[in-house]
Amino acid sequence: MTGGERDFRFILVDQDGLTHPTGKPVNDRNQAFAVAKRLAIDIAETRQEYLGKGCFVSVVDDAQIEIHRESVDSAEKSG
């Protein structure tokens, strides 16, 4: 990382509250939101076991603070 760049990472949170790192880190906040939406859509389309159970993709910054959530259920409806 250089200068003031921050890393944003993605975590799939399942119905039991367990976390699963997913996707590749990005260093742009807006890009992180777009990636989270795409990941949620991909999960909804390919991992049916996560639908209807309150699962979501969490975006966390390099301090491990959650800055955004993207619902897998909502993504499936809009995808």
Q: What are the structural domain ranges in the chain?
A: 8-78
The whole-model pTM stands at: 0.85
CA distance 20 to 43: 12
Pair 20, 12: CB distance under 8 Å: yes
Q: Which residues contact 44 (CB under 8 A, 6 or more apart)?
A: 50, 51, 72, 73, 75, 76, 79
Nearest to 49 by CA among 7, 20, 8: 20
Q: Could you read off the pLDDT of 18-70 as tens digits, one per residue?
A: 999 998 999 999 999 999 999 999 999 999 899 999 999 999 999 999 999 99
The CA angle 29-31-35, to the nearest 5 degrees, is 120
| Residue that the structure tokens 């590749």 belong to | 24
